[in-house]
């Protein structure tokens, strides 16, 4: 089965600084890749997804991610973060059946 590893459990950054949240995946078949954000006591909100096509994917709230097949990575980036970006971020991988496997999550804390 496919799996995903989020390399950082916590990422503290200052407001207006750039940020990168790292995600590596493994799978023996073609996969789809996703990034979700979760605020406390809430469900998941899709930030962006890679299904096919361009390897640079742009999402909501100024986030983008790049699919790198050779590195089996799908890192999430934002050039300038805001306090409101403080949340838990999950990388997920799915086969064409959309059976998602989630990473352990990265807690992004934006400090003033």
Partner 1 sequence: GAVVSQHPSWVICKSGTSVKIECRSLDFQATTMFWYRQFPKQSLMLMATSNEGSKATYEQGVEKDKFLINHASLTLSTLTVTSAHPEDSSFYICSARTGVNEQYFGPGTRLTVT
Q: Could you say whether residue 13 binds partner 1 (CB under 8 A)?
A: no
> Least CB distance from residue 45 to partner 1, whole Å?
8
Alpha-carbon gap, residue 62 to 35, rounded angstroms:
13
Residue 83 to residues 8, 14, 70, 78, Cα–Cα distance (Å): 19, 9, 34, 13
For partner 1, the closer of residues 30 and 80 by Cβ is 30
Interaction between residue 22 and partner 1 (CB under 8 A) = no
By the 8 A CB rule, do 69 and 63 touch?
no
Candidates 19-27, 43-51, 55-63, 69-77; binding stretch for partner 1 (CB under 8 A): 43-51
Q: Is 57 in the site for partner 1 (CB under 8 A)?
A: no
Residue 69, CA distances (Å) to 18, 33, 88 in order = 24, 11, 25
List the interface residues with partner 1, window 74-93 (CB under 8 A).
Answer: 90
Binding site for partner 1 (CB under 8 A): 32, 36, 41-44, 46, 51, 90, 94, 96-105
């Amino acid at each position: 089965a496919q799996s995903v590893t989020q390399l950082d459990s916590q990422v503290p950054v200052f407001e207006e600084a750039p940020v990168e949240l790292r995600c590596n995946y493994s799978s023996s078949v073609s996969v789809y890749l996703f990034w979700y954000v979760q605020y406390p006591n809430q469900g998941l909100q899709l930030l962006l997804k890679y299904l096919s096509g361009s390897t640079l994917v742009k999402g909501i709230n100024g986030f983008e991610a790049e699919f790198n097949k050779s590195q089996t990575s799908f890192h999430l980036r934002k050039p300038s973060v805001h306090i409101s970006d403080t949340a838990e971020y999950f990388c997920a991988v799915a086969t064409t059946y959309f059976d998602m496997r989630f990473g352990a999550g990265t807690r992004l804390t934006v400090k003033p």
